Amino acid sequence: AQKVTQAQTEISVVEKEDVTLDCVYETRDTTYYLFWYKQPPSGELVFLIRRNSFDEQNEISGRYSWNFQKSTSSFNFTITASQVVDSAVYFCALILRGNNDMRFGAGTRLTVKP
Amino acid sequence: DAGVTQSPTHLIKTRGQQVTLRCSPKSGHDTVSWYQQALGQGPQFIFQYYEEEERQRGNFPDRFSGHQFPNYSSELNVNALLLGDSALYLCASSLEPGLAGYNEQFFGPGTRLTVL
């Protein structure tokens, strides 16, 4: 069975600080996909990134970067120079190839104070 | 291009009642998945519909049922409501992945159900 753990329930930072959101996953499958979603107060899940299990390259998109390490089963998300608009709940998720059951972590609530 | 839409936005029901939630997928999408998100938790997969049939189901009782129409829109029905069914219900649409393995899911804004 697959599982996603986000150990950080809540994080609070001051604007312009860097912040890393941790994600640890469990699966015995060799082909899977990992995701990060942002959920603002409106409730809609906003897709941020997808990684497949064969692509361990780290990725940077503007102020966002992701560190995927299969050796530690982690897929961490870093926001550089955080902004108030980054305040939201962030979810890490895992789906196996051929399976439609996307497993989400419990989420990390990020608050960025001005 | 309209994204995924859901109705209603909010709903209040009492225990034992039945409820129907609706979802219209993103244009061009043929697959609809439903998730339940309890307060303070991550979404949990309820089931997925493709070609008007339930293709896969998560760990939810038979009180939860669904339907997909020929235009790909979908309904989620919950019978004999319990207090614990209070949650945000999210619909996600995608293209059937076929051999590609996975296609990105686009989520709607959700329906917030309160059971009193």
- pLDDT tens per residue, range A17-29: 999 999 999 999 9
Give the closest-approach CA distance of B88 to chain A in angstroms: 8
Dist. CA B27–CA B93, nearest whole Å:
9
| Contacts of residue B96, Cβ cutoff 8 Å, sequence gap at least 6 | B30, B31, B50, B103
Residues 6+ apart with CB under 8 A from A99: B56
Question: Which of B57, B59, B102, B107 should we substitute to test contact with A (largest number of A Cβ atoms within 10 Å)?
Answer: B102
Is a pLDDT exceeding 60 seen at residue B85? Answer: yes
Question: What are A59-113's pLDDT values in tens digits?
Answer: 888 999 999 999 999 999 999 999 999 999 999 999 998 888 899 999 999 999 9
**B104/A47 CB distance under 8 A:** yes
Over residues B19-73, the pLDDT tens digits come to: 999 999 999 899 999 999 999 999 999 999 999 999 999 999 999 999 999 999 9
DSSP letter assigned to residue B3: -
Q: What does the pLDDT read at residue A79?
A: 96
* The pLDDT of residue A45: 92
CB burial readout A1-10, b (16+ within 10 A) else e = ebebebebee
